[in-house]
Structure 1
Amino acid sequence: MAKGVNSAAEQAEQLKQNGNLYFKKNRLGAAIDAYTEAITLCPNVPVYWTNRALCHRKRNEWARVEEDSRRAVKLDPKSVKGHYMLGLALLQREQYNEGIKALERALDLGRGAHPHSYMVEEIWQELAGAKYKEWQRDSTKRASDLQKLEKSCEMALKENYLHNISQDEDGITDSTSEQLAALKLVFSKAAEADKPTDVPDYLCCKITLDIFRDPVITPSGLTYERAIILDHLEKVGKFDPITREDLHPSQLVPNLAIKEAVEAYLEKHGWAYKME
């Protein structure tokens, strides 16, 4: 019995390897067939599901991406690819809230397992785009609601004061004109919250000048992007690029305060800077 199980597992693994080769050659149909056979033999292996989901993604078959990704994360709640592709599939259906949650989960898992991999950066970019689209949708609705409310308030003011005796040639009293000006100012201020804004310098890495993703602080008190400072220490030398003091990777500590500040800033401003 055990021999049969091992044989099935070995066959499934070979099918996965075949699928990988087909995928590299862009033979997506053949790759899907290979992964499907592997799943039939060993349905509880998450990577078979995520590999097939990746094929469906390249073919823009998002319903199947979602289906396979959900199965993968059910089998392995720590599957980075599973959460990542589930998030992408949900975004295709404009399920921004759930899609963003899935991408955030993928990002957290990716940072923990492979903090310097290309996938972490890819997930970050997709998450930025998703948050921007969510912000754009919500800000557009808020702008429309504000405009309707402003017009309603203007009409109410004009109707309320039209009966006044002292009117200018437009039929509106001086008092009304002042209130209308104040009203425009109030609504103008309310609309400013939805305008893109420059990222504060303290939220940006001093080397890349880009907003922090994974900030770490040095003994001298300077904060850098983790991947960037580690690359400097490996390729340039074991010293702080600004203070020139000795610095080793073991001395880097996560800057949780800056990380929280970045997240708060991005949440407020909808990651709009990413689309500049």
Structure 2
Amino acid sequence: MSATDLRNQGNTLYAARKYEAAIVCYTKAIVKNPNTALYFTNRALCHLKLRQWDKALQDCQRALDIDRSWVKGHFFMGQAFVEQAMYDEAITSLKRAHDLAKEQKLNFGDDITSALRVAKKQRWNMIEEKRIQQEIALQTYLNRLIKEDKERQIEDLKNQEGMATCEEVENICENMDKRLIEVNSLFSQLDDRRKRVGHFDPVTRTDLTQEQLISNFSLKEVIDAYLEENPWAEDY
């Protein structure tokens, strides 16, 4: 069988979701013609379906070594990077795939742009999760410092006067409890502010209705540019 025949057989098996068998066919096609990028991305797609991310990346890289402008090589590589939580690399690959598809006038529908949105959102979620964990750690640290300060002040008071009065101890406790409430309130306000997102014009602060929204390619370009600089907005 020729390399083309083997590739066609692999496509039939892939359509039947027999990915491992399809890989065998694509591998045989590669042996017969190792300089065809298409065969490597065919096999890479099977690896993606089997969640074999490293193998998918290897095949995508081999395809791109043959043809740097091979859109599917960048596209599938981006998908594999997303699955490995390598979001910066994924975004770079998917942007390249998107640009090449436009240059070559290839129609991938919304597949590449959708994958790019997912990568950006996942990267934002990862950054946001890390930031939240840092906030929690800081809040915990400040709470501990306040409690330790309260205990130290009470101990100092006892050492200075021999016997601290109940009123003096209560004053220290009240002041420290007030500090705790203030600190925790600040963190709570930060959390509430993140969640408070309304449908309003950011300039006039007036409500927007669906009828006011205009379909416009220039507006879309502005929005795309905004999302590029503010990936957090993908969530809203």
Q: TM-score, normalised on structure 2? A: 0.71
Secondary structure of the residue aligned to 2:217 is: strand
Contact 1:32–1:55 (CA<8 Å) still a contact in 2?
A: yes
Letter in 1 for 2:229: A
Q: Does 1:184 align with 2:184?
A: yes
Task: Report deviation, 1:98.
Answer: 1.8
- State the partner residue of 1:150: 139
Structure-2 change in CA distance of 1:142 and 1:105 (3 Å): same
Structure-2 change in CA distance of 1:182 and 1:50 (3 Å): same
- State the partner residue of 1:172: 173
Contact 1:135–1:270 (CA<8 Å) still a contact in 2?
A: no
Structure-2 change in CA distance of 1:113 and 1:181 (3 Å): farther
Letter in 2 for 1:145: Q
- State the partner residue of 1:238: none
Structure-2 change in CA distance of 1:137 and 1:193 (3 Å): farther
Q: TM-score, normalised on structure 1? A: 0.62
2:7 to 9, 16, 30: 16
Question: Which sits farther off after the overlay, 182-191 or 94-103?
Answer: 182-191
- State the partner residue of 2:207: none
Larger Rg: 2
Contact 1:46–1:71 (CA<8 Å) still a contact in 2?
A: yes
Structure richer in helix, relative to its length: 2
Contact 2:26–2:39 (CA<8 Å) still a contact in 1?
A: yes
Structure-2 change in CA distance of 1:135 and 1:81 (3 Å): same
Distance in 1 of aligned mates of 2:77 and 2:174 = 59
- State the partner residue of 1:133: 122
Structure-2 change in CA distance of 1:31 and 1:93 (3 Å): same
Name the Cα RMSD after superposition.
Answer: 3.5
Task: Report deviation, 1:159.
Answer: 3.8
**What percentage of aligned pairs have identical amino acids?**
28
Letter in 2 for 1:41: K
- State the partner residue of 2:228: 263
Q: Does 1:110 align with 2:101?
A: yes
Task: Report deviation, 1:39.
Answer: 1.3
Task: Report deviation, 1:64.
Answer: 1.8
Task: Report deviation, 1:259.
Answer: 2.7
Letter in 1 for 2:67: D
